[in-house]
Chain A
């Protein structure tokens, strides 16, 4: 009904040209000039929804990507179209769902025997970050393989056998077409690339380190190698997943009963066609260089009063090589603060209020909970001079986060109720969000850094205006106190109408989720979503293209 009314509203505009509209007057604050094309407006204006508006206010992208997810009982499957030019309100976007291709997949070993495995299928030419089409388990004890539907196109798959003695595989560039022979067999190779060598003590390359646990993971594919335990001579060999990876992160560590102990972590280049020899040197760990640290986290308010910071995540990462070795010894441990600000860590089944450490300098990162008033802290603590079985008491003090203040208004100058997402453009920051109040204002405590701010109006049709999602990149300085952002005035929007139809016989597809995206600053941003009604129609408000 809403869509029908919206259509009638637009149609009503078309037949009522020449009549001044109070809504338009309110929305833009000026006497509107009706138009059908931009040619009918002044040179610095464009025609938007039959009104001439300032060209500078049109800031939207020229094209968007659309994703349609039909309900689970539909014969169709998720479908994306990329880089569609944004249509104006007088046009209707018809999404015709392609006929899905039933697909069946099995995984077999080199002998042709069925193997149980995790199967992830992702499509080529998809919306960045939304490539994943299937994530399922392929059983080996059923008559059929895993069954799912895909639209015709090119795909890649990552397969991780349940048996961890078999590394995973990556299959790229396979096509899905109607009439292909099924089930599709994903075959594990007869031979995998390997990394082999010896785990030794760094102080004596002749002395093997039995019992060390060695594993690797593809830097790109994220598929794991097999796990090896170094033998009595320290020798090990791991098989690598069959992927296009050339870099693997190799980790080696001693078993939990020997912790805390130095480990090894290094990114290693492996020839796409061959094996790799790798000597792994691990620093000696003994009671001489083991100790514990008691650490508490305190926040200071604007009056200089301290208070415990609860539920902060604290990570210790050994940062400096012992004896200036090229490869830093690896040791990392993570804990959480309790209500008194005291850091606790899990060691095996025990929860300890002291942190087991090895003699070194550490990068210590403190991440207070998302809603905290206190800022994250990264600092270096030096525990190199501590004695045997040392215990050190430390306290770290956090400053207040800057309070970011902003205001959101519509193109017509009305305050807008909106959710404001702060998506970090730096991996060390965390996503946050704020809600504007009735006057369009918001305030939020944020860690300093770069964010993509995404403003999502609660009601894109509030007050008779079209309120699109807007994006702004902001930089929060490393200061305390208030940081006022420039006022955010949303660009004018178009309500874009469309309908979802089936590709089999053109029938209406009801209850399909339709979502539109743009790609901004390396982030995929949703511009809005709607569900198709009983007549298959939907509408989403989009920013007007430049």
Chain B
């Protein structure tokens, strides 16, 4: 992945170079059109929940995920919240963001419903029906992309078990034009009941 990004940056640099004149230092008042495609950037202080490990009571009804995202050269972004229970991925939430001008922050608002996003893990952690209930580990990913299309389209997410964070990204002039940014949490489904509120239940 890292190599792919390096190659892409080099490719983009080459493209920028090839679009300008042979001069390394441009003359005054000549604007160089910037063709480098920026990846969506998540504004780290705005990521909510901020903790890396999400401790989720088995009876938590749902919790919210928020983040601000900026893309320097795109106005249309898509996001997908993907739950992984160790065997398969499930789409927790998804949406699109449109801002008036590239570089303006867009707000991602998503919801995670543990009962339907991690059904097996919740079942194993539910002390009310399981004498052997213990904490279960899953993963939650927030994918944000400037691509127009996910590899797994929305009407196929329920019958697809992996690859929900991948995009359709055919190479243009030797490099893929789009990017995916991911933030990932470890999810701990705990056998203790919610003490606060079933919709505001992260520890």
List A residues at the B interface (Cβ < 8 Å).
Answer: 71-72, 118, 120, 122, 129-132, 135-136, 158, 160, 213, 215, 217, 221-224, 249, 251, 253-256, 265, 310-311, 313, 332-334, 336, 339, 346, 348, 367-372, 417, 419, 430-431, 433, 435, 456, 458-459, 462, 511, 513, 529, 531
Q: List 29 interface pairs A-B (beta carbons < 8 Å), by A numbering.
A: A72-B45, A72-B50, A118-B203, A129-B200, A131-B196, A131-B197, A131-B200, A132-B200, A158-B195, A160-B192, A217-B128, A222-B193, A223-B195, A253-B129, A311-B90, A332-B129, A339-B159, A346-B123, A348-B132, A371-B155, A371-B157, A372-B158, A430-B113, A430-B116, A433-B111, A435-B95, A435-B96, A456-B109, A459-B100
Taken residue by residue from 34 to 49, chain B's Cβ proximity to chain A (1 for < 8 Å, 0 otherwise) reads as: 0000000000011010
Q: Indicate if the CB atoms of A313 and B197 lie closer than 8 Å.
A: no
Q: Indicate if the CB atoms of B116 and A367 lie closer than 8 Å.
A: yes
Q: Indicate if the CB atoms of A224 and B192 lie closer than 8 Å.
A: yes
Taken residue by residue from 86 to 100, chain B's Cβ proximity to chain A (1 for < 8 Å, 0 otherwise) reads as: 001011010111111
Q: Indicate if the CB atoms of B203 and A135 lie closer than 8 Å.
A: yes
Q: Indicate if the CB atoms of A336 and B107 lie closer than 8 Å.
A: no
Q: What residue in chain B is nearest A430 (Cβ atoms)?
A: B116
Q: Indicate if the CB atoms of A256 and B131 lie closer than 8 Å.
A: yes
Tell me whether chain B's interface is mostly helix, strand or loop, or mixed. Answer: mixed
Instruction: Say how far A44's CB is from chain B's closest CB, in angstroms.
Output: 34
A253–B130 CA distance with the chains assembled, in angstroms: 9
Please indicate the chain B residues that have their CB under 8 angstroms from the CB of A372 in the complex. Answer: 158
Q: Indicate if the CB atoms of B119 and A122 lie closer than 8 Å.
A: no
A348–B134 CA distance with the chains assembled, in angstroms: 12
Instruction: Say how far A522's CB is from chain B's closest CB, in angstroms.
Output: 12
User: A346-B124, A458-B98 are known contacts. Are A311 and B158 too (CB-CB below 8 A)?
Assistant: yes
CB-CB contacts below 8 Å: B117-149 with A: 119-120, 123-124, 127-129, 131-132
Q: Indicate if the CB atoms of A120 and B116 lie closer than 8 Å.
A: no
A310–B161 CA distance with the chains assembled, in angstroms: 10
A129–B199 CA distance with the chains assembled, in angstroms: 7
Q: Indicate if the CB atoms of A120 and B195 lie closer than 8 Å.
A: yes
User: A310-B159, A334-B123, A371-B154 are known contacts. Are A531 and B46 too (CB-CB below 8 A)?
Assistant: yes
A332–B131 CA distance with the chains assembled, in angstroms: 12
Instruction: Say how far B120's CB is from chain A's closest CB, in angstroms.
Output: 7
Instruction: Say how far A395's CB is from chain B's closest CB, in angstroms.
Output: 19
Instruction: Say how far A431's CB is from chain B's closest CB, in angstroms.
Output: 6
